[in-house]
Structure 1
Amino acid sequence: MRCALVLALLTPVAASAGSFQIECPATLMVKSTAAAPSGWQIVESPEPHVLDHVGLYRGNPSDLQSSVPETTDERQGRSKDVWTFDATEKMWAACFYTGTSLFTAMPVPQGVTRCEALYGSPRKGEKSGLIAARCE
């Protein structure tokens, strides 16, 4: 199961009539605050949080109604999550990042009924991760 919260932008890029690619930002810079326990010091890493996976929400993500993929197909070191929904539902796409509860999100265009996310290594020897996400 995949889950998390909201910060920057997803950019949908028109691919053809009725479909679009979900172009997640590759990294997310997060500025944190915390109160250090007695005797401890808070140190913030300058490293950005790296894109991990894509998810969908039924309605605004601030309502925390995440949608679980209906199917997850795993073959030859790759996996594909698929969500289907009614064209009248107000869905949001979200991009999740490693090491933070913050995520980026935006509404899915009205009329879309299916989204999928493909995971795996695009080239041999690369770390497994999100390869592409699209909706139609």
Structure 2
Amino acid sequence: MKFNIKTLSKDLLLSILLGIGQFANAYELVCPESVTVKAAKPELKVTPQHWEVSEHKDMLLTLDGVGVYGGNPVDLAQLKPEPTVVKGKKHYPAWEVDSKLDLDGVGFWLSCSYNHNQVQLTRRIDSTMKVCWTVYSKDSQGGLLAKLKCQ
């Protein structure tokens, strides 16, 4: 049996590229289920006369939602979710995150919200993605779980 090294190399390269393409389509970000806020004494600009500021206890905050932003969420440019069809399956909430839409070069960001935005964990979405959608589920105690899947 005779092997043609050029054909073998092309076949190997094609297999590698197909494998990379499949890996690139399996992008997802998972929000942590909860966060613990360390106890602190809030600082007021001005404490009213005859009053003291009370300390808080450590608080466990659970996940209550996900949002996608055009730019860092601190800039408050939250994108409106739209129903989207990916590979014949309808997803909602979903967002278009194609880098062609990112005219300012600030990227698209995921925000995981805890206790109605009291705390947000944010993370930039890979710039090679085109569309993302959220998959929600519940843990064994009924707490919210969320992951952002993208292609």
1:34: Cα distance to partner? 4.5
For 1:36-81, what per-residue CA distance to the aligned partner results, in whole angstroms no more than 9, with x for missing partners? 7655652413222112221111012222111121139xxxxxx941
What does 1:26-45 align with in structure 2 at a 5 Å threshold? Answer: 26-31=33-38, 32=40, 33-35=42-44, 42-45=54-57
Report if aligned partners of 1:122, 1:131 keep a CA contact under 8 Å in 2: no
Task: Report what 1:81 is aligned to.
Answer: 93
1:18: Cα distance to partner? 3.4
1:17: Cα distance to partner? 1.6
After superposition, the Cα gap between the structure-2 partners of 1:26 and 1:130, relative to the gap in structure 1 and judged at 3 Å, is closer
Task: Report what 1:46 is aligned to.
Answer: 58
Report if aligned partners of 2:37, 2:59 keep a CA contact under 8 Å in 1: no
Task: Report what 2:9 is aligned to.
Answer: none
Report if aligned partners of 2:95, 2:131 keep a CA contact under 8 Å in 1: yes
Q: Secondary structure at the match of 2:127?
A: coil
TM-score by length of 1: 0.65
Structure 1 CA distance for aligned equivalents of residues 51 and 145 of structure 2: 40
More helix by share: 2
Q: Tell me the number of residue pairs that the alignment of Structure 1 and Structure 2 aligns.
A: 114
Task: Report what 2:79 is aligned to.
Answer: 67
Q: Secondary structure at the match of 2:74?
A: helix
Larger radius of gyration: 2
Structure 2 CA distance for aligned equivalents of residues 122 and 28 of structure 1: 15
Question: 4+ residue runs of structure 1 moved beyond 6 angstroms?
Answer: none
Q: Secondary structure at the match of 1:66?
A: coil
1:105: Cα distance to partner? 0.8
2:125 aligns with one of 108, 111, 115: 108
Higher relative contact order (CA 8 A, sep 6+): 1
Q: Which AA in structure 1 matches 2:114?
A: Y
More strand by share: 1
CA RMSD of aligned residues (A): 3.0
Gaps of 5+ in 2: 1-21, 85-90
Q: Which AA in structure 1 matches 2:121?
A: T
Q: Which AA in structure 2 matches 1:82?
A: A
Task: Report what 2:5 is aligned to.
Answer: none
Report if aligned partners of 1:19, 1:112 keep a CA contact under 8 Å in 2: no
For 1:96-125, what per-residue CA distance to the aligned partner results, in whole angstroms no more than 9, with x for missing partners? 1115522111111112111111224366xx
1:93: Cα distance to partner? 1.0
Give % identity: 25
Gaps of 5+ in 1: 1-14, 73-78
